[in-house]
Amino acid sequence: MQWILQQFEDTQKLADALDSLGFRYSWHKVVPFIGELVPEPEVRDPRAVVMFGSYTLWRYAESKGFKPGVFRIPPFVHEEPWQPYMLNGPDAVFLTVSEIHAQLSHEDRAWFIRPVSDSKEQPGAVRSSAEIHETVREIMSLDPNDIPNGSLRPDTRMMLTPPARILREWRIWIVNAEVVTYSLYKDGTRVTYRHEIDPDALEFAQFLARLNDGYSPAYVMDICRTLEGLCLLETNCINAAGFYAADLVKLAAVIDGMPPGLGSNP
């Protein structure tokens, strides 16, 4: 596998793992708005190229026909096998930004809000109705032609759910429907990165991965423990998700061993 990396703190951690495995890689910068790479990579076999960095790398990978390139994933909220296990899934509200402007109540309350697609326009966060409406007003005041790629737009579909009390949160790296590595990233209200997971949480993550084994060849899943039990929080693109305290040597070895020509989901 040929590894193409964009310079970030997290990709440096990945590079260290690749060094320990003896795998070659190259560093590149992304030209803003254009999306070209500097320097232009010398690709040996486009059927065996993987890219890590910002989510926007998928456009370059797609234009060059790289496989797997970037493992794009469909919106997890539409995956029926997982819906019974999602945090606040039955209570979710789905609105575009423009619909929020017209339909979301101004009642003083909190919402967990995130884009439906894994497009990185905005990270999921708990925000008040007033904060959401202020953001929406700013977006709606802009000419659509002036909104940069990768930013929220009037037609961006959002998911809003009631906030829940979360006790612990883990990130799980899944390849070929198998859990490869994991990291704790939040313990109560405290952000902390440790390479550990409760045994039942690991079992739950593996259950979800096999339950929906056709979702994507590789992706990241976030799960949490609440007062009611374990839940699926969200999924993320494995090529652009934070590594926290994952075992990157193990992850890199598994990805490097994937067969040539393996495609990614649109």
Q: What is the CATH number of the domain that holds 192?
A: 3.30.470.20
Residue predicted with more confidence, 256 or 118: 256
Residue-wise pLDDT for 188-209, tens only, equals: 989 999 999 999 999 999 999 9
3-state secondary structure the chain: CEEEEECCHHHHHHHHHHHHHCCCEEEEEECCCCCCEECCCCCCCHHHEEEECCCCHHHHHHHHCCCEECCECCCHHHCHHHHHHECCHHHCEEEEHHHHHHHCCCCCCEEEEEECCCCCCCCCEEEEHHHHHHHHHHHHCCCHHHCCCCCCCCCCEEEEECCCCEEEEEEEEEECCEEEEEEEEEECCEEEEECCCCHHHHHHHHHHHHHCCCCCCEEEEEEEEECCEEEEEEEECCCCCCCCCCCHHHHHHHHHCCCCCCCCEC
Same domain, 154 and 105: yes
The rounded distance, in Å, linking the Cα atoms of 168 and 230 is 9
Same domain, 188 and 150: no
Domain end, chosen from 138, 161, 184, is at 161
CA distances from 43 to 4, 17, 130, 258 (A): 9, 21, 49, 17
Range of 225's domain? 164-236
Same domain, 155 and 93: yes
Nearest CA to 233 out of 170, 179, 182, 185 is that of 170
Helix axes 9-21, 248-256, angle to 10 degrees: 70
Establish if 17 belongs to a structural domain.
Answer: yes
Establish if 259 belongs to a structural domain.
Answer: no
- Asked which of 91-95, 121-125, 187-191, 248-252 is least confident by mean pLDDT, the reply is 121-125
Tally of domains within the chain: 3
Same domain, 56 and 99: no
- Per-residue pLDDT at 125: 84
Establish if 256 belongs to a structural domain.
Answer: no
- Per-residue pLDDT at 98: 93
Same domain, 35 and 60: yes
Confidence of residue 144 (pLDDT cuts 50, 70, 90): confident
Question: Hey, which of 84-93, 152-161, 181-190 has the most confident mean pLDDT?
Answer: 181-190
> Is the pLDDT confidence value at 49 over 70?
yes
- Per-residue pLDDT at 162: 84
- Per-residue pLDDT at 119: 64
How much is the pTM? 0.83
Residue predicted with more confidence, 148 or 175: 175
> Is the pLDDT confidence value at 89 over 90?
no
Residue predicted with more confidence, 107 or 13: 13
Same domain, 22 and 6: yes
- Per-residue pLDDT at 115: 87
- Per-residue pLDDT at 235: 95
Same domain, 43 and 15: yes
Work out the average pLDDT over 135-149.
87
> Is the pLDDT confidence value at 157 over 60?
yes
Q: How far from chain centre, in Å, is Cα 98?
A: 24
Establish if 101 belongs to a structural domain.
Answer: yes
> Is the pLDDT confidence value at 265 over 60?
no
Same domain, 153 and 187: no
Nearest CA to 243 out of 189, 180, 188, 200 is that of 180
Work out the average pLDDT over 216-244.
95
Q: What mean pLDDT, rounded, does the chain reach?
A: 92
Residue 189, both tokens: 């209200």
> Is the pLDDT confidence value at 105 over 70?
yes
Same domain, 168 and 232: yes
Same domain, 215 and 173: yes
- Per-residue pLDDT at 194: 98
* CATH number, domain containing residue 157: 3.30.1490
Same domain, 92 and 133: yes
